[in-house]
Amino acid sequence: MRTPFEAGVPLARTIHFRVYLLMALGVFFSIAAMAIAGWIKVRSLDGRLMQGRLRAAEAVAEHLDEQLRLDLELLLHVPTRQGFDLEDRESRPEREAMHEEYLHFRFPGMYLVNAQGEVVQEEPARGGAAPTTPPSLAGPFQQLLATGRPVVSNLLTPEDGGRLYQLVPVRNWQGRVVGAVGGRMDPTLARAVRVLRHLVPPGEGHADLLDGNGVVVASTDPARARRATECRGHLAELIAQKKPEVATCGGCHPARIYGAEQVRAFAPLSAAPWAVAVWQPRDAVVASGGEMPATFLGVVLVVAFFSALFAWGAARSVTEPIYVLTGEAERIATGELDEPIPDLGTDEVGRLAAALDRMRRSLAGLIREVGDANTELEKRVEARTAELAQVNARLREREAARRELLRKLIGAQESERKRIARELHDDTTQSLAVLVMGLEAASAALRSGAGQPRLDEVKALAVQTLEEVHRIIRDLRPSVLDDLGFYSAVRWYADNTLGSRGVDVRCEIAATSRRLPPEMETALFRVCQEALNNVARHAQAEKVLVQLEQQGDVLRIEIEDDGRGFDLASAGGASGGRPHFGLMGIRERVEILGGKLQVDSAPGQGTRLSIEVPVPPEVEA
C-alpha cells in the first residue's frame, strides 16, 4: 500500500497534514476557549458582585420606604379623627387630634394647613402666640395641591434651615383637598444614617441618601451632607424615572478625586423622590480588579504544552490505519469487490471497514424509510400544532372575558356606592340638619315657658346621627386607598373599625412596595372591609390578627379572631339555618379574582378566614 507521499499527493491535501493541523487548531482553540471561559466567568462574578451591591442598596431603599410610609400613615390618622372638619368653625376637634397624634410622632413638629396654605394649628403649640407659616412649607404644599397625593419634599435651601417635610392631604366629604397635615422631619435623619452604615465597611467608600435634585440629604460621611453629589444631573434623571442602576463611574470620579475607579449602586425610593447611592472603589467590590491574574496565564501555557504533546501522539495513531482504509475504499470505488478488506483490528477503524459493505447495501433502503418517517412526523406535528393553537385561542378568549367581567362588576359596585353617598348627602344629611335647627328653635322657645322638655337629648341624638352619616360617606370610599394603596388602607380600616371599639387588632404585612391594579385593590379592600365589619358586628372578639403576605404571584390574606364563632354547617342556609350573606359576598369577590377562600370556625372557637388570590405580573409603563 502506497502512502500519499509516494502517490505524489501534495502535502496540504493529505489527511496526515489535516489531522495534525486540526489537532493543533483544536488544542489552540480549546486553550483559547478555556481562557475566554475563565475570563468570562470572572467577569460574570464581577457582574454578580456589582448586582449584589445594587440589591443591598435596594434593600436599604425599601427599608427607608417603609419608614416613610409609616410616618405618612401616622399623619393620615389626624384627619380621620371624630369631628375633624377644616370647613367648620369649630377648631377644638382639630386641635385635640393634632396634639394626640403629636405625642406619638417621631419628628420635631407638626402643622395643620388650610386651603390657602396658612398654618392654622401647630404642634408643639407656641403658648399664646399664633401659629406661624414657614416660608419653606409653601413649595411642598403647592405640590400636594397639584397632585392630591402625599408629598415628601426635597431638601430645602440653607436659608430655610435645610428642612424636610412630609405632607398628606385633608379631604372633605366630597373628596376635595381642603388642606394638609404636615410633619417637619429630623434634619440629621439619624435613622437613615444608621441604616446606610450597613452598606459600606469603614474606609471603603460612602453611602448617601439623595433627594430629587441630586443633593445629599444624609450620608455616612458627615462632610457630604447638604451638598450636591457627583453625577448630579444623571442621578436626578434616574430618581425621576424610578430606575435603579449599578455602573462603573470613572468620568465623574477621576483618580485625582478618589484615587481609584468607583462602582456606584443606585436604588430609588418609591414613597419619596429620593434615592440611596453607594460609592465604593472598584477593587473593593469586584473579584478581578480589572486585570488577568498571572497564575492563570501560567496554567494556560502548561496545559497548552501537554495538550499539544498528547494531540501529536493521538493524531499519529489515527492516521496510519486510515492510510490502509483509504486505499481499500479507492479499490472498492473502482469496482474491485472480490478481495476482502484487511483486518484492521477491533477499534473504530476496524469496525468501520467491516461495516463499509453493509452500509452500501442498506443505504438506499434506509433513505426511503427515513423519508417516509419524516413525512409522517411532519403531519403529526402540524396537527398537534393546530390543536394547541386552538386551545390557546380559547384560553385567551376566556381570560379576556373573565377580566372584562371583573372590571365591569367592580366598576358597577363602585358606581353604586358613589350614588348611595350622593343620596345620603342630598337627602338624609340635609333632613337631619333641618331637624337639628328645628329642635334648636323649639328648645329655645320652650325655655321661656314653665316646663323644660328634654329636647336637648333629642338634639344630641340628631347631631350624633348626622356625624355617623358623614362617617359612612367617608367609609364608602376611604382616601387612604387611593393615596397609599391596599395594604395601608387595610391597616387604617382595621384600626378605625376595631380599634375604636376596644378590640386589640394587629396587622402584619409582608409584601412588595409596588401597587396592585386599581380594580384589584378595590375588590380586595371590599373583601377585608366586609370581613372586619363581620368581626365588629357579630364576633364579640377581644383580639384580631390581620396578615397580608405576597409571595411571588400569590397574595395571601388571613383574618383571625377569638370571638364566639359560628356553625359552618348553617353558614350557607343548610338545615334551616340563616344564610351568611357577608361570607357569600366575600366568596363571590374572591372567585371573581380567580382566588380561593377557606373559612374555619366553630361555636366558641373564633373564626379564621384564609384567602389566596393570584397577582398579575408587573407591567412596565
pLDDT 10s digits, 456-476: 666 666 776 776 666 666 666
In the prediction, which pLDDT does 10 show?
63
- In the prediction, which pLDDT does 169 show? 92
**Rounded to an integer, what distance in angstroms lies between the CA atom of residue 230 and that of residue 220?**
16
Helices (H) and strands (E) in the chain, counts: 15, 15
Q: Smallest Cα–Cα separation from 487: which of 185, 8, 40, 65?
A: 65
| Look-up of cell digits 369631628 | 83
| d(C-alpha 331, C-alpha 76), whole Å | 97
Residue whose C-alpha is closest to residue 611's, from 597, 594, 592: 597
**In this predicted structure, what is the pLDDT of residue 619?**
43
Q: Which three cell numbers stand for residue 442?
A: 323649639
pLDDT of residue 8: 53
The whole-angstrom separation of Cα 470 and Cα 240 is 38
The answer for residues whose C-beta is within 8 angstroms of residue 169's C-beta and 6 or more apart is: 144, 148, 149, 150, 177, 179, 180, 479, 483
pLDDT for position 427:
58
Q: Residues of 432-449 as b/e, b for ≥16 C-beta within 10 angstroms?
A: beebbeebeeebeeeeee
Q: What is the pLDDT of residue 287?
A: 64
**Cα-atom radius of gyration of the chain, to the nearest Å?**
39
Closest CA to 193 of 165, 221, 218: 218
Give me the phi and psi of 252, to 5 degrees please: -85, -20
Helix (H) or strand (E) holding 533: helix 518-534
pTM of the model: 0.44
* Residue 538 near residue 510, CB atoms below 8 Å: no
Would you state the pLDDT for residue 361?
Answer: 56
Give me the percent of the chain exceeding a pLDDT of 90. 5
Q: What is the CATH number of domain 478-621?
A: 3.30.565.10
Cβ pair 587, 599 in contact under 8 A: no
**Domain ranges within the chain, ordered by starting residue:** 1-342, 369-477, 478-621
Half-sphere exposure of 372 (CA within 13 A, CB side): 5
H/E stretch holding 554: strand 554-561
- Per-residue model confidence (pLDDT) at position 526: 86
| Span 1-342 CATH architecture | 2-Layer Sandwich (3.30)
State which residues of the chain have pLDDT below 50: 1-2, 5-6, 254-258, 290, 363-364, 367, 450, 573-576, 619-621
Which phi and psi angles does 2 have, rounded to 5°?
-85, 145
Nearest Cα to Cα of residue 546 among 533, 534, 559:
559
**How much is the pLDDT for 5?**
46
